């Protein structure tokens, strides 16, 4: 991810892709406003896909890579003793066989394309009886699909120097084989614009829905071509969601029949009105592969948050629009940086970057092709799920997706020979890998970051909505949570990875914790990596019981009596794992089911990066909302001091499904820890709690 640029107090949102690989300069923009309606997409009318699978006939048969296929070539083969043969070997994955009294071609093609003109199928009995049929068999696929490990990871096909682990993927093929491709779903990608001419995207675009907040006009809702300004990020993100499938081009999107409009947002001024605008419109899903990168407690825009609250209540005709956001890529960005403590390696917490603490985002972390957290992925109690983001694409696999067309722009260019890219990226007339797979530089194998994890999740949500368009925004969250795969299920508690910043007797980060409702949770992965097949299976199940529609927030403005304490000035002991604890008895939540919890803390401390915050539920489940000795240690710009004091809202999803009463009655306990011995101490001045539940 490009780091935020701080000019005075202006915070610029930037794309969530790590900078371990060279990339174009920063760009920004926001989306447009609702037109005639403030409701979300309905999955009807103009949502009809821009392409369809070719239709088979008795003379021309189409089979599709990765999808189950069966065609009865001839019937009436009675009496037994029949065998079947073909004049030409069938494409890999397909076989001809006798099934009862029929001759059938069936299987799952594994090739990306094949055409068998004049294929003769012969059924023989004894030595003298032959029955023949002639047809043309065409297999449609996508050349790069075998390398898209996020869809199906075989542990073998990678362009990078290293490989991944078979099975560490999102299990997308099962959803496709069940007939769900994102059809009827409208997605808004608020990003760096789009190459609207890309042949693998053009048929899935909602052309009238594109917006440009860099050069467009507010008078018409900023409608217009989402110019890329040479930045490939938005094109890559869009391809992950909805690149067309089975057209013998490039790769396949997670939801290859979803319709997409793209906003040029990342190069805009990002005013409040623009922020609200890019979260508005006739769309089911909004994908935000951007973030602030800020390592200071910058206050979230209240008007923007109020708009999101309105959209999840009233969007999609009351079902709620769905907002999916990248968690950010700064986890290891502050290693080797200078702080008042000297050179530190202070991890970023996903709760700190701007807007990440909203209850209305599905916040997504990134995982590698070998089933562990990506090195850059922000960890925190506000993650909902994780999804493939990969690493740099050179040493370790990244995501294969669409790029700006031509070899003069984008990630894959003629200039790629200057960098240590893998052979897919190196432009050369003698490079057989490049000439075979990317001769016109229209694709990249180096897209990574939570920028990739977010659209991977958005694609899975599109598959879910195509299976069941009546899911509410909270149904989507519930299904994602309970169907996710545990990543590194044996992961144990870990210590701070800089020895000098460890606190004796303190558990820096927990492993997987199963809460009182039976839901496992991990700050690196949320509820786990999304599983498309399991998610659409649950979504389509007629016996699925929706989450209660009667949801509430107990204290959304953090000012309700009984939900907090003010005027405390309680001393926080220096470098003491016992810290200071405060408790609240909340009997009003006793009969409620918890979904997410926020706490707002106000702390005076000259080095706020030393502070850790934990919360324990009435059921005894502990969640670490802010890790001690974190990136707030580090000055956020040249000439600035590290962030001092703390006035921040922190979110946790670790209590999902628990009741508001438990072994501790209805008592919630917050713990504040000073994690470093330097004689710099602070005080807890106020704290309050907000619970989202039903």
pLDDT digits (tens, 9 = 90+) for 634-654: 887 777 778 899 999 999 999
Q: Percent of the chain, pLDDT > 70? A: 92
- Is the separation of the CB atoms in 258 and 14 below 8 Å? no
pLDDT in tens, 227-242: 999 899 999 999 999 9
What gap in Å lies between CA 651 and CA 401, rounded to an integer? Answer: 32
Beta strand residue intervals within 267-391, DSSP E:
285-288, 290-291, 322-326, 335-339, 342-345, 361-367, 385-388
CATH superfamily of 6-50+175-389+445-487+522-540: Peptidase S8/S53 domain (3.40.50.200)
- Is the separation of the CB atoms in 444 and 400 below 8 Å? yes
pLDDT in tens, 252-266: 999 999 999 999 999
Give residue 312's pLDDT. Answer: 98
- Is the separation of the CB atoms in 464 and 477 below 8 Å? no
Q: Do domains 6-50+175-389+445-487+522-540 and 552-693 have the same CATH topology?
A: no
Q: Is the domain covering 552-693 a CATH 1.10.760.10 domain?
A: no
What gap in Å lies between CA 451 and CA 114, rounded to an integer? Answer: 34
Give the relative orientation of helices 450-467 and 233-242 as an angle to the nearest 10 degrees.
Answer: 30
> Domain residues of the chain, as ranges?
6-50+175-389+445-487+522-540, 66-140, 552-693
Which of the four pLDDT bands, split at 50, 70 and 90, describes residue 421? low
Best CA proximity match to 473, nearest among 543, 547, 535: 547
Residue 68 has pLDDT above 60, yes or no: yes
Residue 38 has pLDDT above 90, yes or no: no
Residues shown for the chain: 694
Give residue 414's pLDDT. Answer: 77
Give residue 34's pLDDT. Answer: 31
Residue 7 has pLDDT above 50, yes or no: no
- Is the separation of the CB atoms in 214 and 289 below 8 Å? no
Question: 539-566: buried (b, 16+ CB within 10 Å) or exposed (e) per residue?
Answer: bbeeeeeebeeebeebbbebeeeebbbe
Which of the four pLDDT bands, split at 50, 70 and 90, describes residue 416? low
Residue 396 has pLDDT above 90, yes or no: yes
pLDDT in tens, 109-133: 999 999 999 999 999 998 778 999 9
Question: 220-236: buried (b, 16+ CB within 10 Å) or exposed (e) per residue?
Answer: ebbbbbbbbbebbbbbb
Which of the four pLDDT bands, split at 50, 70 and 90, describes residue 554? very high
For the chain, the average pLDDT equals 91
Task: Supply the pTM of this predicted model.
Answer: 0.93
């Amino acid at each position: 991810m490009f780091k935020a640029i701080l000019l005075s107090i202006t915070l610029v949102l930037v794309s969530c892709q790590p900078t371990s690989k060279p990339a174009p300069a920063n760009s920004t923009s926001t989306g447009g406003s609702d037109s005639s309606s403030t409701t979300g997409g309905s999955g009807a009318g103009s949502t009809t896909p821009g392409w369809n699978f070719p239709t088979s006939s008795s003379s021309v048969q189409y089979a599709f890579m990765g999808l189950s296929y069966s065609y009865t070539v001839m019937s009436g083969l009675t009496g037994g003793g029949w065998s079947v043969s073909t004049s030409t070997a069938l494409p890999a994955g397909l076989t001809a066989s006798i099934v009862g009294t029929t001759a059938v071609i069936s299987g799952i093609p594994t090739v990306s394309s094949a055409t068998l003109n004049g294929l003769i199928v012969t059924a023989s009995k004894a030595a003298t009886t032959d029955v023949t049929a002639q047809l043309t068999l065409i297999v449609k696929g996508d050349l790069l699909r075998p390398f898209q490990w996020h869809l199906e990871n075989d542990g073998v096909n990678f362009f990078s120097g290293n490989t991944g682990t078979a099975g560490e993927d999102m299990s997308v093929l099962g959803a496709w084989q069940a007939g769900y491709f994102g059809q009827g779903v409208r997605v808004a990608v608020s990003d760096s614009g789009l190459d609207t001419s890309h042949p693998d995207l053009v048929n899935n675009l909602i052309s009238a829905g594109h917006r440009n907040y860099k050069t467009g006009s507010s008078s018409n809702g900023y409608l217009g071509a989402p110019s890329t300004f040479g930045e490939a990020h938005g094109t890559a993100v869009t391809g992950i969601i909805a690149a067309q499938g089975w057209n013998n081009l490039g790769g396949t999107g997670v939801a290859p029949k979803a319709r997409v409009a793209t906003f040029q947002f990342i190069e805009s001024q990002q005013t409040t009105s623009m922020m609200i605008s890019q979260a508005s419109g006739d769309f089911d899903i909004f994908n935000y592969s951007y973030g602030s990168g800020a390592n200071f407690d910058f206050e979230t825009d209240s008007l923007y948050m109020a708009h999101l609250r309105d959209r999840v209540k009233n969007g999609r005709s009351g079902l709620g629009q769905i907002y999916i956001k990248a968690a950010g890529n700064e986890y290891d960005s502050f290693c080797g940086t200078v702080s008042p403590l000297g050179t530190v390696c202070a991890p970023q917490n996903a709760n700190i970057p701007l807007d990440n603490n909203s209850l209305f985002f599905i916040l997504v972390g990134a995982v590698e092709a070998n089933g562990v957290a990506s090195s850059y992925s922000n960890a925190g109690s506000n993650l909902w799920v994780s999804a493939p983001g990969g690493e740099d694409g050179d040493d370790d696999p990244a995501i294969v997706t669409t790029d700006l067309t031509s070899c003069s722009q984008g990630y894959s260019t003629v200039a790629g020979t200057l960098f240590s890219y893998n052979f897919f990226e190196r432009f050369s007339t003698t490079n057989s890998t490049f000439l075979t797979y990317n001769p016109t530089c229209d694709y990249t194998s180096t897209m990574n970051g939570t920028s990739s994890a977010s659209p991977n999740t958005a694609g899975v949500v599109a598959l879910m909505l195509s299976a069941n368009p009546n899911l509410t925004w909270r149904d989507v969250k519930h299904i994602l949570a309970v169907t996710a795969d545990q990543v590194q299920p044996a992961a144990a508690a870990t210590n701070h990875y800089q020895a000098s910043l460890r606190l004796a007797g303190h558990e820096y980060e927990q492993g997987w914790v199963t809460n009182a409702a039976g839901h496992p949770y991990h700050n690196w992965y949320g509820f786990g990596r999304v599983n498309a097949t399991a998610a659409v299976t649950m979504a389509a199940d007629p016996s699925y019981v929706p989450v209660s529609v009667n949801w509430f927030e107990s204290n959304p403005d953090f000012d309700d009596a009984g939900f907090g304490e003010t005027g405390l000035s309680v001393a926080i002991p220096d470098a003491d794992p016992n810290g200071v604890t405060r408790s609240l008895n909340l009997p009003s939540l006793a009969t409620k089911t918890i979904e997410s919890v926020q706490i707002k803390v106000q702390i005076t401390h000259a080095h706020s990066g030393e502070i850790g915050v934990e919360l324990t539920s009435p059921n005894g489940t502990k969640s670490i909302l802010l890790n001690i000795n974190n990136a707030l240690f580090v000055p956020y710009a040249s000439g600035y001091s590290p962030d001092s004091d703390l006035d921040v809202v922190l979110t946790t999803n670790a209590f999902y499904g628990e009741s508001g009463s438990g072994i501790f009655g209805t008592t919630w306990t917050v713990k504040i820890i000073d994690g470093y011995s330097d004689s710099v101490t602070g005080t807890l001045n106020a704290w309050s709690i907000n619970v989202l539940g039903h």
